[in-house]
Amino acid sequence: MSFADFIRATVLLCAGAATTLAAVTVLSAAAEHDPGAATFPFIWWAAAALIGFALDMRGGALPAIARLLGSSRSIPNVPEPAAGLIMIARLWPLLILTLVAGVMGILAPQIPGIAAGFTIISALAWRNQYAAVLAVEGRDGVRFYVDRTPFWRPISLTRTPGFKVFRPTP
């Protein structure tokens, strides 16, 4: 799976988890007939959005992504596609967070509301990272792929030859 596509899918899944958890929060607060139970989560979501936008405004690739790109190993061929397995192996914490916080919404509507805030931060902070990866790929003429590794090992990348972007100088 392409690393840029992995990042884009991660952002979309974080946004989807935030939407799901926000819906659980609102429905749980409505079931309790307590509008005050959803007041704190709404404030937290606004603060989380501001935090996410602030983290995204740095520009360029995050230092962790830059280290990951720099430590990638080179291979001559495109690796075998296994997008579903890679997504599950890498994003299982998001799945567990969404499921546990959603179920905990039965007990207290604030729990999924707080979890939704963290997924909002993640989605907004990572939303432009795929563009940074694509810029590096275009500049260097390579393509980065996520390796299929067990979920307990850190993510690793491989680099294959790609197309270099030539831009005319003004």
Q: Is residue 168 part of a domain?
A: no
If 0-12 CB within 10 Å is exposed, 13-18 middle and 19+ buried, where does residue 45 land? buried
Q: Which domain holds residue 43?
A: 3-161
Domain count, the chain: 1
Question: What is the structure's pLDDT at 74?
Answer: 87
End-to-end alpha carbon distance in the chain: 36
Amino acid in position 103: V
Phi-psi region of 144 (alpha: psi -120 to 50; beta: other; left: phi over 0): beta
| φ, ψ dihedrals at 168, nearest 5° | -70, 145
Question: What is the structure's pLDDT at 123?
Answer: 94
Q: Is 42 helix (H, G, I), strand (E, B) or coil?
A: helix
Q: Is residue 156 part of a domain?
A: yes
Strand order in the sheet with 73-74: 73-74, 157-161, 142-146
Q: Is residue 45 part of a domain?
A: yes
Please name which of 120, 103, 166, 91 lies closest in space to residue 15, comparing C-alpha atoms: 120
Question: What is the structure's pLDDT at 100?
Answer: 95
Please name which of 53, 44, 20, 71 lies closest in space to residue 126, comparing C-alpha atoms: 53
For every one of its 170 residues, what pLDDT tens digit does the chain have, with 9 covering 90 and above? 889 999 999 999 999 999 999 999 999 888 888 777 778 889 999 999 999 999 888 777 788 888 888 888 888 888 888 888 889 989 999 999 999 999 998 888 889 999 999 999 999 999 988 888 888 888 888 889 998 888 888 898 989 887 766 667 67
Number of neighbouring beta carbons within 10 Å of residue 31: 12
The span from the CA of 115 to the CA of 110, in Å, is 9
Question: What is the structure's pLDDT at 167?
Answer: 67
